[in-house]
Structure 1
Amino acid sequence: MQNEPLAYRMRPQTIDEIAGQQHVIGKDTALYKMIMNGHVPSMLLYGDPGVGKTSLAFAIAGTTKLPFIALNATKAGKKDVEDVVADARISGKVILFLDEIHRFNKLQQDTLLPHVENGSIILIGATTENPFHDVNPAIRSRCGEIKQLKRLTTEDVDVLLKRALEDPDKGLGKTPIKITDDQRLKIADASNGDARKALTLLESTVFASFEENGVTVVENGTLDSLIDRVGVFGDKKGSHFYNLLSALQKSVRGSDTDAALYYLAHLLENGDLVAVSRRLLVMSYEDIGLANPAAGPQVLAAIQSAERLGLPEARIPLANAVVLMCLSEKSNSAYVALDKAISSIHSGKTGEIPSHLKDTHYSGAKELGHGGYVYPHDHKIGTFGGWVNQTYLPDNLIGTRFYDPIDAGEEKRLSAIYNKLEKFKKEK
């Protein structure tokens, strides 16, 4: 067993050994009570890598003593599924743990799902992707429980590290190891809530440390060099990546500069400069908008600079763009107004274009009744330029208001002009 990775050896055997996830499997939860009473529902476990999806499935099996089979949906074929069905017929009931269940194909489903429905196979699926986006509805409908596992806290991870250092059978307890509380907590912090990563880092640190008088001594320099190699969790196109993009935008919208820079750092460490740049440009118009019309061109310039520079230097103009948007006045009035107009069209609120706005650049337009447009530039109005009071909306939409300006930044000036023109219209 000692040849197996520490993270594998330290996998919990029962649900009482699970670290963290108290919202899912704590002693007061319905799921805990069901399992302790011998009932295991089919379920989907959703969460980032290393949060304990596989461990929870193994612990459920260990608690109930039910036959347990683990498959990966990317590798399992129809024959593997048929073998599970055969085992269920012999045993009466079996737990099937299916990792990466979002990759489950239709042929596998057709073979398995009837047996999940009749209860002979208890399906526990695990996925890093949002099950409501990526898991087939046929599977979701047969899983009574959909549980989102959270990243472990530093305290949760530290419990696992202590357990691994003390356990003489599965862990490192047979080896005298000198490691300080601060060093252990540093490992817990560096894991970013990923139990597998933490245990792997601990094991690597121990094997990289020197031995003195029969005791393995962990040095800060060794630990720090290994921590530098720990990757950022998440991938470029998974649910976590899109959650990072969402968190970045919401932090900018909420004017929290430090949070926005934190999420930008995560995204850039994942290396997808194109997706990050695209989101920043959208934000400059969606969230800053007319309150600071200069933001859009400034963010575009930062993005173009970043693309020309490439990473890691690209982080510099992008950091400027994010701080600028965080601390800028904000308005979403323009695109909200457009969405209202789009919604109006979709709901059937359309009308005939006024005759004076229709195209007249062809012979016969006059005979069709087109014409009568008054050219606003010929009617000066103070320093505004030109304006004339004429109808632009279809007759049945006259008076409809889509745009609702706000008094923020530059839009405060635009709002005053808009309201003044609205007043002129009513004086017609």
Structure 2
Amino acid sequence: MHNEPLAYRMRPRNLNEIVGQQHIIGKNTTLYKMIQNGHVPSMLLYGEPGIGKTSIAYAISGSSNLPFFSLNATHAGKKDVEQIVTEARISGKVILFLDEIHRFNKLQQDTLLPHVENGSIVLIGATTENPFHDVNPAIRSRCGEILQLKRHTQQDIAQLLTNALADTERGLGKHNIIITEEQIEHIAMASNGDARKALTLLESVYYASDEEDGQTIVKDHTIEHLAKRIGVYGDKGGSHFYNLLSALQKSVRGSDTNAALYYLAHLLENGDLIAVCRRLLVMAYEDVGLANPAVGAHVYAATESAKVLGLPEARIPLANAVIEMCLSPKSNSAYAALDNAIAAIHDGKTGDIPPHLRDGHYAGAKVLGHIGYQYPHDTPIGTFGGWIDQQYLPDNIASLEFYNPVIAGEEKRMAAIYERLKGFKKK
């Protein structure tokens, strides 16, 4: 057993050994009570790597009397599923833990689903992807519980590390390791909420430390060196990656510079530079918009520079772009106005283009009545340029307004012009 990694050996053996995730499996939860009373429901466990999906499945198995089987959907075949179905017929009921369940194909589903439905197989599926996007609805509908796990707190991770250091049977307790609470906290912080990374780092630190007089002395520099190598969860194209993009945009929209830089750092560590540049460019027009029209050009220049430079230098122009957008006045009025116009069309608020606006650059246009257009440039109005009062919308929707200005930044000036032109029309 001690040939297995420490993270594998320290998996909880029952529900009471689970650290963290108390919101879904704590002693006061309905799920805990159901399992303790002998009823294990089918469920989906959703969350990032290293936060306890597999551990919870094994702990549930340890707290029930049902035969337990584990498959990974990325390489399990129909034959594997059929063997478990056969075992379910013999045993009456079994638990199947299916990792990466979003990769389950239709043939495998067709073999498994009837047995999940009749209760002979209790399905515990685990996925890093949003189950409402990536898990087949047929499977989703047969799982009574869809449980989203949270990233472990630093306190949770420190507890896991302390348990591993004390456990003489499965952990490192039989070794005389000299490690301080501050060093345990350092490892917990470096793991970024990932229990597997934390235990792996602890094991690496143990094997990299020197032994003196029968004691293994952990040094700070050993932790610092190894912590740099544990990496960041790289979920390109997955749910976590899109959650990071969403968090970045919402932080910029909320003008929180520090949060925006934090999420930008995460995204760049994942390495998908193109997706980040694309999202930043959208944000310049969606969230800053007319309040600071120059930002669009600035962000475009920053993102193009980032693509030319590549990582790690790309972070420099992107940091400039993010901070400028955070601290800029903001308006979403332009795209909101267009969305209002699109909604009006979908609601049937349409009409004929006024004759004077139709194409008149061909012989016969006058015969069709395409006349009467007045050229605004021929009628200057103050320093604004050319303007003339004529109707542009179809007759039956001429009174509709889609644009609602935001009085912020540069748009404050534009809003004043918009209101003044409306006043001229009324006159």
Looking at structure 2, the residues matched to 223 and 413 of structure 1 have their Cα atoms a distance apart, in angstroms, of: 56
Q: Partner residue of 2:269?
A: 269
User: Equivalent residue for 1:139?
Assistant: 139
Alignment of 1:167-316 (within 5 A): 167-316=167-316
Answer whether contact 1:350 1:394 (CA < 8 A) is retained. yes
Aligned to 1:19: 19
Where do residues 154-173 of structure 1 align in structure 2 (5 Å cutoff)?
154-173=154-173
Instruction: Say if 2:348 is the partner of 1:348.
Output: yes
TM-fit CA distance, 1:234: 3.6
For the residue of structure 2 that corresponds to 1:305, the secondary structure is: helix
Q: Deviations over 1:46-97 (max 9, x none)?
A: 0000000000000001001210000000111000000010010111000000
Helix, strand or coil at the partner of 1:64: coil
Normalising by structure 2, we get a TM-score of 0.99
Q: Which residue of 2 aligns with 1:65?
A: 65
- In structure 2, the residue corresponding to 1:69 is in which secondary structure? strand
Q: Which amino acid aligns with 1:326?
A: C
SS at match of 2:63: helix
Aligned partner of 2:100 in structure 1 is 100
Between the aligned partners of 1:393 and 1:188, the Cα distance in structure 2 is 63
**Following the alignment from structure 1 to structure 2, what is the Cα–Cα distance between the partners of residues 53 and 296?**
42
- For normalisation by structure 1, the TM-score amounts to 0.99
User: Structure 1, residues 161-207: CA drift from partner, whole Å, max 9, x if none?
Assistant: 01100000000111100011111111111111110110000001000
Match of 2:418 in 1: 418
What runs of 5+ residues in structure 2 fail to find an aligned partner? none
The one-letter code of the counterpart of 2:72 is: N
**What is the distance in 1 between the residues matched to 2:283 and 2:266?**
18
Report the Cα distance in structure 1 between the residues aligned to 2:237 and 2:216, rounded to whole angstroms.
41
The 5 Å alignment of 1:373-388 reads 373-388=373-388
Matches of 1:309 and 1:103, distance apart in 2: 36
Q: For 1:303-330, what per-residue CA distance to the aligned partner results, in whole angstroms no more than 9, with x for missing partners? A: 1111111111111111000000000000
Question: Who is 1:52 aligned against?
Answer: 52
Q: Which amino acid in structure 2 is aligned with residue 87 of structure 1?
A: E
Cα distance in 1 for partners of 2:32, 2:77 equals 32
Query: Which region of structure 1 is more displaced relative to structure 2, 251-260 or 23-32?
Result: 23-32
Name the SS for the 2:19 alignment partner.
Answer: coil
Q: CA deviation at 1:349?
A: 1.1
User: Matched residues in 1 for 2:236 and 2:82: separation?
Assistant: 34
**By how many angstroms is 1:269 displaced?**
0.7
- Give the alignment of 1:317-328 within 5 angstroms: 317-328=317-328
Asked if 1:150 is matched to 2:181, the reply is no
Answer with 342-351 or 317-326: which moved more: 342-351
Please tell me whether the aligned partners of residues 355 and 369 of structure 1 are also in contact (alpha carbons under 8 angstroms).
yes
Give the conservation status (yes or no) of the 8 Å contact 1:158–1:184. Answer: yes
DSSP-derived class of the 2:147 partner: strand
- Specify the alignment match of 1:36 in structure 2: 36
Q: Is the 8 A contact 1:50 1:194 kept in 2?
A: yes
Does the 8 Å CA contact 1:43/1:125 hold for their aligned counterparts? yes
Q: Distance in 1 between matches of 2:372 and 2:389?
A: 13
Q: Distance in 2 between matches of 1:312 and 1:211?
A: 38
Aligned mates of 1:238, 1:214 — CA distance in 2: 47
The amino acid of 2:373's aligned partner reads Y
**2-structure distance, mates of 1:345, 1:68:** 56
- Contact 1:74/1:103 (CA < 8 Å) preserved in 2? yes
Matches within 5 A, 1:111-130: 111-130=111-130
| CA RMSD of superposed structures (Å) | 0.6
Matching residue's letter, 1:18: I
Q: Is the partner of 1:316 in helix, strand or coil?
A: helix
1:121 is displaced (CA, Å) by 0.2
Residue equivalent to 1:393: 393
Letter of the structure 2 residue corresponding to residue 70 of structure 1: S
Report the alpha carbon displacement of residue 240 of structure 1 after superposing the two structures with TM. 0.6
CA distance in 1, matches of 2:58, 2:235: 25
Structure 1 distance, partners of 2:121, 2:338, is 51
Kept in 2, the 8 Å contact 1:178–1:215? The answer is yes
Supply the distance in 1 between the matched residues of 2:387 and 2:416 (Cα, whole angstroms): 15
Matching residue's letter, 1:374: Q
**SS of residue in 1 equivalent to 2:386:** coil
Is there any run of 5+ residues in structure 1 with no aligned partner, and where? none
Give the match for residue 338 of structure 2: 338
1:210, 1:103 → 2: CA distance?
44
What displacement does 1:371 show?
A: 1.4
What CA distance in whole angstroms lies between the structure 2 residues aligned with 1:23 and 1:219? Answer: 36
> Is the 1:46–1:129 Cα contact (8 Å) retained in structure 2?
yes
Please state how far the C-alpha of 1:368 moved relative to its aligned partner.
1.0
Partners of 1:192 and 1:233 within 8 A in 2: no
Aligned to 2:359, the other structure's residue is in SS state coil
**What is the CA–CA distance in structure 1 between the aligned matches of 2:105 and 2:233, rounded to whole Å?**
27
Q: 3-state SS of the aligned residue for 2:95?
A: strand
Code of the aligned partner of 1:242: Y
Distance (Å, rounded) in 2 between the aligned partners of 1:197 and 1:171: 15
Q: Which residue identity does 1:353 align to in structure 2?
A: I
| AA of the residue aligned to 2:403 | Y
1:91 alignment partner in structure 2 = 91
Aligned counterparts of 1:374 and 1:149: Cα–Cα separation in 2: 64
User: 2:349 & 2:83 partners in 1: Cα distance?
Assistant: 59
The whole-number CA distance in structure 1 between the counterparts of 2:228 and 2:293 is 41
